[in-house]
Each structure stands twice: as structure tokens, then as C-alpha cells.
Structure 1
């Protein structure tokens, strides 16, 4: 199961991004499965090298392109979860017409939802109702739920939005979810360098002590992620990271284009992932 104290999640469930990448370069979409395999190989190598990853590491993979690799990772002892949302959809849609007809395909469930407190009330209510239904399914299967919330910027100045408005809107989304009985084990959220913004989000999350937060990467470089970690580590609800493209996008892009060897790609991703784990551990200790 997903650990409650610390989470080092390698998030490899990206779908539409790889589809777009392949289509633009006339690469067969079947190659996306090769990318997923490399991500699993890198994670398993990291597990071999790091007791922290063996204890707290997890993989997020999509069955669409990763079903065989998910089985391989589970067989190796890894904690593997899967997304439920239709990739790229807004408002929230499920991956199939009958998403809850069978148990979850992984040890935990992740859903991505876009929300702003100024969205149309009917749209927000519909999305919250879907999340409530999803939570019921997860609890019936004893599968931890990870809700990833993205707050899109509209016309706000970027710095003001990042420091104050996005944290305020994210906090409101979390509180509105709580009022509807939606209480995921983890909120997967965007990091911030604003101590005040991080504290505001932490106060909202902490209204339900069992809920925790993990920081996503947004394809940022390690130096910016380190700043996000340093800010998040000072909050009471911080549990770790859920990073994907920052680990594998550039490396796997070169692999698909024939610019790097498979073994080199695996080694590079392993090192990047372990470096981010070390950055989180350093932030917590400081």
C-alpha cells in the first residue's frame, strides 16, 4: 500500500503528452509502451540502490500503455497505482463508460481534476460528485485515493497568481471537497516558493488530519523543485513527492528519437529520481 509517512512516487501515467509527441514526429504510438518499460526499469533499479525507495517508493502507471509493465513491477514488489481520469479531459471524465465495474487495477488510485473557485457552480458540483463516487469505489476496495488538483492560471499576473491566488483557490477547492465528504489520503498539488501560500494550503489540508500532501513536478528542473520542497517541508501535511516528467521526459524523448541508448536512458532516469529523493530528504532535515 501507499505509505502514510513518506511517499516517493514516480509518476509515469502521462498519455496525451506522449501521443502528441509521437504524432508530431511520425513515431508509432506503440513506442509509448517502450517508454513506460524504461520508466519501470529505472524505478526498479532505484529500488535496488536505495532503501528509502524500497520503503517509500511507488509507481503511477496507466494501463493503456503500461499494463504488462505494471504487472512486472508488482511482481518485483513495487507499489503500483493507476489513473482513472480520461487523459486531457476537462471537465473530469473517466477512462471508460463503466469505470467502477471492476476493482482498481493498482494498489492505489489517482485522479487529476482541474478546478478554480470561480468556475461555473454547476461544473464544479458535477466534478465533486464524480470525485465522491470515485472515493466510494476506492474505499470499497481499500485502495488509497490520490487527488491531483491543478488550478489553471487565467489572466492573472504570473507572480501574483503563483504566490497568492493559486494557493487561495487550491485551498478553497480542498475545503469545498471536504464539505462534500471527499477526503483523499493524498492531495497531489503544485509546489510553491511562497511560504505564505504553502502555509495557506497546509491549513486547508490539515482540517482533515488523515489527509496529506505530495508535491508534483510540472516538468520543472531540479533547482526549482528543490525550492518547492524546501517550502513544502515546513508544512505539517507534507509527505513527499510525485514527480514524473522532470525525471523522464527529456531522457525518453531522446530515446524515442534514437539519440540515446536504452541502458543509458535507464541509468540517467534512475540517477535523476534518486537525486529528487535526496532533495526531499534534505529539505525535511533542514
Structure 2
């Protein structure tokens, strides 16, 4: 039956854990000092990889009723993986894995999987309706090591076959998880064991596709001679057999096993630097299934698989390294690529841009990240600056009163005075921006440690880094180049710490602004390699200026999230008039306005003339006026377009 007859293309079954990846490369796991947190586990990685390639995937597993279990569920939802089959286990913790990258051949692993949630999966967790919703199910060898998960996996396979779906077996052999090595030997990929071979072979009659490395073929076939092992497997199943061969690509065997791996259907590998083999096999599986489940030629499926494996073997992490369909097509376009693949700036940007969380066709932000302005206001009204944080905490309450959980809203708050608001925002779905620049600095300086990356490493991952720069394309060369170096440093730091970046350009303070000024500034930064996720720009009543800005952005980075307007303390009516000018421009998503909204309430509150409730009401109502005006301007533009 064609995959399109099912709501899902694929359900993967089994391991789901937290990968804690050492961030220091080239040393022992004992000497790694910090770890990046990702979702992991082979079937989980494959579900994510498949979703990124356009497959409709789901996962059947258990996670703990803990912070990490919630993170897995949230991340799967962000990736577009169905979580209907993700069961919460209140008695067990989510599994952990510590991983390291020491050298091209050494990848230390420690599995924390004692009585963990995913290994408690049992047959009663298998919902027949969920299994029947997919064109294929995938089981993993690791989950056959315990009776309860063996029964759950086999039961799901039988339901799938009865529904006319395909069954895929990822051999996925980890001797340590079968109790065959010491717990410090997680990277060991092969220990011969007749009992394991017998156990794995029990599922062979159920399978339509079996995928494994040569070592995994050895354990499944019970022989360290790959051809002999494949022939033993063939005696027990008619499934398509695919042998992964690392840099040599892969060999597929739809029928009888020949005398050499090279006599199968060979998918050629790609010459790339091996940085991290962990996760490459899961990427291979996702790529192969993107072709095989869509009934593409076997050679095509092998090509997808090898390309996905090559991409992931060049990166840090497993699931976050998985390529998107757009990225895979780019990789396969025939262009020359560097051997050290992660040095391919275009491919890396495409990966970043096509895997970011969320999409905003509209974004309306209350900006209250001002610092020097609040200090000046305190001096003006005779207020203690220690009161500023309490007022800024009201910003989130004002946004929430209006937004009521609508993720098209956001807040922009600083870490110096606005930390309480930033902390509270963690429990809401709103866009969060946070400034990094030293207020008023020109040339640009950062309000942080001497190394901006060390500061960003302390920020939550969902905080968008906002940087205001007073920048004009006709600035003196020395000033311009100093600021550009700072921006490039910041972008590098933001990417390495996995934060989105918003660059706010105010050109008017440094010189005259014409219809081409801001577009020239943006183009100059693009020419230097800048590709921020967002731009924040001054309002303008010139349609020509906005057309130039849009052209510069779309020509250089079609994946840019877009532009939000800043306010510059403009009167409300002027801002609303500027909305009418830009509403027809799709690159402008909304606004991030501050003083126009909060100036009066801040003065009154700091002076003690109004209380918290009055301040929240004033902020919310003024914010609402701008939001309604923005939406009305966009609606009017849409109506005009439809009429035309």
C-alpha cells in the first residue's frame, strides 16, 4: 500500500534519551568540562531525521515524568514528530548518555540506563490504532535485549504487517546494553555472542528491510565473515538487506547474496572529514527511508542515505546534526565541498536556518530593554534605580494580559534590570529578545564579559540575542571596520552557542538617511558574511527605501526571518502612519517598540503616582493600540491585493 494512504509514513520504536555531548574535543571524557544537551537514542534520532527530510514520523517510547522527559516531548513537537506514542513513566527517570569526541576513531560513551523509562516499554503500551496509522514501523536491536521491550517491539511489528505496512529492523548493536562489556566500554561495537544472535534472529521473518554496519551484520548472522553472515540472514528472511560501509558507502541486497559486497547495489560514499561518527548511522537510516518509503529507486535511496551520513559525521551531536530536505538537495547539487564539511559556510547556514524553531508571519514585541534611559528617568523623578527591576517585571504581565498565550507576541528585556521578567518569561510561549550591546556605545561594545561567547553561554537557548549598532555605510573607515569586527564576533558567538541573532541598525544618528542608506548598510554586512536571523530597523515613510531593504535581504538571505520596526520614541500616530507604508512589504513582520508604549507609565510608576495594576493596564492598552493598528494595516493590504 502506498505511504500516502496512511496518516504517518513511519513510527520508530525504542530508545529515547538525553544525549549530553562533551563540548571539548580531543581529550578524555574525564577531562571534558561542559556538555551540550540534545535528544538522543537511535529510533528518536531517526524519527527526527525523517521528519526533517519530509517524512511524517512518530515515536513509540517511554520517558520519565521529569524535566528531561518534558524536553524530549517538547523537542519532538518542535521537530514535527508525532508524540502520541510517547508515554510518561512516573516511576522511572529518562535515560542519559554522556558522549565525547576524542579523535576520528575514539568516541567514549557512558550509558545511564539502569531501570530507565524507555526500557520499561511493554506490550500494553502499543496502541494498535497508532501502529496502524503508519506505512512502516522501525524496531531496534537494543530494545530486543529485555523481554518486555522485545514483546512490545514484536507485537507492534505483527500489528503493522497485518495492516499491510512495512517492518524495518535497525540492528543497532551496543554490547554494553546487553551486559557484554564493562559500563565504561559504551563505544565498543562488537562482541560475539550466540545468545544475542539467536534473540535478534527471531524477528527476521517479520522484516521487509534490515539495515546495519558490517559489525552489526556479524552479530545478526553469527559470523565475522560479512558475506557468510549475510547469507545466514538471507536464509531466514526475504527482506531487503543494506550493509553500511562507512566512507565506502553502502551495499544493498534485494535478492541472493553475491560473493562480494561490491556486487550488490552499491551506493558510493562521500569524501568528508570524520569528526563524529555518533549519529551518522541514524542519519543514514533516515535518508534511506526518505527514498525507500517513497518508492524511489534503490540507488536513489542509497544516495540519500550516504549523503545524510556524510553530513552528520562532520558535525557535533546526533539529532541536531540531521539535515533537512532542502539541505540534502543542496549537498547533492554537485557543487564542490570542502573536505572539512562544517567549513562549508553556505551549507552550515542553510542547516541553521532550516532547523530553527518556529516561524513568525507576525511578531509584535514590547521592548523594555532600555537601561540608560531608565537610569535617567529615575534621576529625573528622584526615584531609586533599585526599583527599575520591579517595573520591568510588569512588562511580561502587560504582554500576557493582551496576548493570552498567543506566540506572535514577545518581550525584549535586559539582564541588568529586566532579569526577573526574563525568568518569568520562561513559562510563557512568547518570543524573548535580550540585548548584548553596551548602551550608547559607538564603536560597538558589549555589556558582558570580555569574550562575548562566554556571556551568551549563560543565556537560555530561547533568548534571541539583540544587538543595537549605530552604523552608517558612510561612517569613517576606522569606525565602520571596528564595528563590523564586533558584529562578526557576535555572530560567531551566537551560532556557536545556538542563539538566534537580531541586529538593530540605527543609521540616522551617524549621518543623513536616503532611500538607499539602510539597504547599503545591510548589503555591506551581508558582503562581510553577516546573516542575522532578524533585522530591527528604523521606521520610514519611504516605500522606495523599504523596497531596497527587501531586495537586499531576499537576495542575500532568503531564509532571514524578517524585519521588525523600532520606535525611536516616535509619537503613536507617527508609528501607526509608518505601519501603513510597510504593511505591504512581506519582509516586515511587525514591530518591537518601547518608549512610545512605556514612557508615561514608567515615569508615573517610578514617581509613585500609580501602582502596579495601573501600570500594567496602561502598558497593555497602549501596546494593544499598536498591535491593532499593525493588524489593520496588514489586513488592509491583504484586502487590496485580493481586490486586484
Q: If the length of structure 1 is used for normalisation, what is the TM-score?
A: 0.89
Instruction: Judge conservation of contact 2:502–2:536 (CA < 8 Å) in 1.
Output: yes
User: 2:566 maps to what in 1?
Assistant: 216
**1:109-128 equivalent positions in 2, closer than 5 A:** 109-128=465-484
Instruction: Judge conservation of contact 1:42–1:266 (CA < 8 Å) in 2.
Output: yes
Out of 96, 100, 106, the position equivalent to 2:453 is 100
1:214 CA drift (Å): 0.8
Report the Cα distance in structure 1 between the residues aligned to 2:382 and 2:497, rounded to whole angstroms: 40
Bigger Rg over Cα:
2
Instruction: Judge conservation of contact 2:407–2:431 (CA < 8 Å) in 1.
Output: no
Report the Cα distance in structure 2 between the residues aligned to 1:104 and 1:234, rounded to whole angstroms: 39
1:230 CA drift (Å): 1.1
1:285 CA drift (Å): 1.4
User: 1:202 maps to what in 2?
Assistant: 550
Instruction: Judge conservation of contact 1:217–1:225 (CA < 8 Å) in 2.
Output: yes
1:181 CA drift (Å): 0.8
Corresponding residue pairs, total: 274
Report the Cα distance in structure 2 between the residues aligned to 1:194 and 1:233, rounded to whole angstroms: 12
CA distances 1:228-283 after superposition (whole Å, capped 9, x unpaired): 11111122311111111111111111111122222111011111112211111111
Report the Cα distance in structure 2 between the residues aligned to 1:81 and 1:155, rounded to whole angstroms: 27
User: 1:230 maps to what in 2?
Assistant: 580
User: 2:504 maps to what in 1?
Assistant: 148
User: 2:416 maps to what in 1?
Assistant: 64
1:116 CA drift (Å): 1.3
Residue range with higher mean Cα deviation, 275-284 or 182-191:
275-284
Instruction: Judge conservation of contact 1:2–1:144 (CA < 8 Å) in 2.
Output: no
Structure 2 unaligned blocks of 5 or more:
1-356, 637-644
Structure 1 unaligned blocks of 5 or more:
none
Q: Secondary structure of 2:417's match?
A: helix
User: 2:403 maps to what in 1?
Assistant: 47
Matched, 1:273 2:623: yes
CA distances 1:69-89 after superposition (whole Å, capped 9, x unpaired): 211121234332211101111
1:195 CA drift (Å): 1.5
Instruction: Judge conservation of contact 1:40–1:73 (CA < 8 Å) in 2.
Output: yes
Report the Cα distance in structure 2 between the residues aligned to 1:154 and 1:141, rounded to whole angstroms: 31
Question: For the aligned residues, what is the CA RMSD?
Answer: 1.8
Higher relative contact order (CA 8 A, sep 6+): 1
Q: Secondary structure of 2:452's match?
A: coil
Residues 195 and 76 of structure 1, relative CA distance in 2, 3 Å threshold: closer
Residues 153 and 90 of structure 1, relative CA distance in 2, 3 Å threshold: closer
Matched, 1:25 2:381: yes
Report the Cα distance in structure 2 between the residues aligned to 1:21 and 1:146, rounded to whole angstroms: 26
Out of 525, 529, 554, the position equivalent to 1:177 is 525
1:92 CA drift (Å): 0.3
Q: Secondary structure of 1:203's match?
A: helix
